[in-house]
Structure 1
């Protein structure tokens, strides 16, 4: 193993409920009343433009972009006191001692990625933003790009994801993937291809696996 690759939301920090609140508040202006199940099944893990086209097909491209900007501003307003998921600092310190590379692979827009990583004081050897590519998760392309930029084979990396779409993307790129149960049912992450499920980075199962790798 030569690299650890991380999703952003729900993986580095437990931001999923903040996104849920921002989405549901913003959709309410258009008469859509959603709940937690609606968010998990219709929104979580997707790309913003695709979600807006599906849920609000009546909006023009410019109106859709304005909707997304409004939603993401609301998320950043809510995300003012972020804390890293338990054990993340220890894991990254371990990676540095082992001279492993690190990467961030996310469907989040640039401003959100910058906001969260700065709030947590994190930096990565490579950052791959799906909005800059031809396809985002669950397509494997973002992870394939990360491997290419780091000059790694898929089996030389380990991915951490919290959504079925993210797990499918990493597994689709051939990367062994650990699922974090911060926002989605464990069985959904398992069905997507995660070989190990953990609540956070303090899980003894994770460290047992790392010691063997």
Structure 2
């Protein structure tokens, strides 16, 4: 089958399973700041920007005024106590295929740039173009992240309808749809039904099944 013109990837839940990496940093930062146990992570916050997540955790104990303080401390903990996330299936196969076919691709994530760079370095991944939450005025679910990445890769608006975006969250799926591109759901976080309702065009358990679908004779 003919391949799309470009492929854009979310990071957490698509390229890596990073829940433990992030939540351990939230937990240690929260304990340092408030000397209290952090609340469980709510599934509905998957894919949201770290500032919104920090606001949630602070809000649980009525400390919203310290949202920024928690955000920056968590970012510090994720650097100094970095926990390498787990690579999900199909990533290396996918990037090898796209490099071989000379198809532009990159990452646009609501995670911080430092976390993305550290993860890519430690996992030895081939993602030369990477954007994190600091690169946007409006993070996902706004479309800015994916529009910025697509334009950086050399695409114009007419190309957007032929660009696939791999997303595991409802937040990111909405961003992909708003950007006028094709959201492809990865069901590591949400069900097929939930992702389809948010706008996913196709659904796969991981990138490996998506890769197999695209390379099937």
Alignment RMSD (CA, Å): 2.5
- Whole-Å separation in 2 of the counterparts to 1:206 and 1:124: 16
| 1:177 is aligned to 2:179 | no
User: Does the CA-based 8 Å contact 1:101-1:125 persist in structure 2?
Assistant: no
* CA apart distance, 1:75: 4.3
Task: Give the equivalent residue in structure 1 for 2:22.
Answer: 19
- Whole-Å separation in 2 of the counterparts to 1:75 and 1:184: 25
- Whole-Å separation in 1 of the counterparts to 2:18 and 2:54: 20
Q: Counterparts of 1:27-66 in structure 2 under 5 Å?
A: 27=30, 29=34, 33-35=38-40, 38-41=41-44, 43-56=45-58, 58-60=63-65, 63-66=66-69
* CA apart distance, 1:25: 5.3
Task: Give the equivalent residue in structure 2 for 1:164.
Answer: 170
* CA apart distance, 1:139: 0.6
Count of paired positions: 205
Give the TM-score normalised by the residue count of structure 2: 0.81
Task: Give the equivalent residue in structure 2 for 1:98.
Answer: 101
Q: Counterparts of 1:98-117 in structure 2 under 5 Å?
A: 98-117=101-120
Task: Give SS of 1:179's match.
Answer: strand
Give the TM-score normalised by the residue count of structure 1: 0.82
Residues 1:19 and 1:39: Cα distance change in structure 2 (over 3 Å)? farther
Task: Give SS of 1:160's match.
Answer: strand
Residues 1:24 and 1:192: Cα distance change in structure 2 (over 3 Å)? farther
User: Does the CA-based 8 Å contact 1:139-1:169 persist in structure 2?
Assistant: yes
